[in-house]
Amino acid sequence: MPKTVIAGNWKMNQNPSEAIELARAIRDGFDAATNVEVVLCPPAISLIGVSEAVQGSAVRVGAQNMHYEDAGAFTGEISPLMLQGICDYVILGHSERRQLFGETDDLVNQKVKAAFRHSLRPILCVGETLEQREGGQANTVIEAQVRAGLSDIVDITGLVLAYEPIWAIGTGQAATPEIASDIMGGAIQQTLQSMFGPAANDVPILYGGSVNPGNVASYMSQSPIHGALVGGASLQAEQFLEIVNLAGAAK
Ligand code: PGA
């Protein structure tokens, strides 16, 4: 059973001093005895500040995105080399990147490969739209995203998968634990098994989409769900820590 992971995706929120303040409050309130891997993913400009703020604690840091090249003429981008030593994790293929910034499965795959090359743990996000779910295509879409995102990869040590149905992100319309568990224990776990065999059992699979203190335990009680990727509710230390503690207690 993989370790429980609760990752906070701060998205484009918090200026650098607010980010440090939030990270410090989470660091101070986090009880490492919960045995939860806590990952804070601030905007790129705050990665260094947050990483310094949590240094020496069990709290980990992740980026929200990166380029796949090490360096070069890519205005506005950040490379995996630059993240090394600052972050342990990087969120890749988030639906907002795919939908608003045109990221394709192929691009996401290049980024996942780059993360592995630089010993960063990719949090690979997959998820279907409402239209795809209503059209009965959720399983097919998810399987295709997992296969494409992990194409030509042999060793998946360190991989984290996140199932984030697009219709549940930031909407308050969380997927039921049964819907989430069905996809996570089904399409995702089975695809990982068929591609990587027993190594698939070590991959934490997180649910994301309107997770809050009121619903987190219901997800954690499902065995195929190993953690959560939290957006809105990760922006307040108290709420986020409540999610962490509830998740730790439920597992
Ligand atoms: P949300 O976002 O918790 O605000 O729905 C989750 C995410 O996009 O990672």
| CB 231 near ligand 1, within 6 Å | yes
From CA 251, how far away is CA 242, in angstroms rounded? 14
| Catalytic residue flag (residue 164) | yes
| Contact indicator for 164, 95 with CB cutoff of 8 Å | yes
From CA 165, how far away is CA 180, in angstroms rounded? 8
Residue 133 has what pLDDT? 96
Instruction: Show the tokens assigned to 21.
Output: 């303040």
How many Cα atoms are found within 13 Å in the side-chain-facing hemisphere of 126? Answer: 28
| Contact indicator for 233, 211 with CB cutoff of 8 Å | yes
Q: 37, 94, 96, 128: which one is catalytic?
A: 94
Residue 117 CA: distances (Å) to CA of 68, 81, 158, 187: 10, 10, 12, 26
Is the sign of the CA dihedral 168, 170, 171, 177 positive or negative? positive
Residues 6+ apart with CB under 8 A from 37: 3, 4, 5, 6, 60, 204, 227
Residue 83 has what pLDDT? 98
64 alpha carbon – ligand 1 mean position (Å): 12
How many Cα atoms are found within 13 Å in the side-chain-facing hemisphere of 224? Answer: 20
Q: Does the predicted model carry a pTM greater than 0.75?
A: yes
Averages of pLDDT over runs of 10 residues in the chain (251 residues) are 96 98 98 95 98 98 98 98 97 98 98 98 98 97 98 98 96 95 98 98 97 97 97 98 97 85
Pick the residue whose CA is nearest to atom 1 on ligand 1. Answer: 231
Residue 251 has what pLDDT? 85
Residue 1 has what pLDDT? 87
Residues 6+ apart with CB under 8 A from 73: none
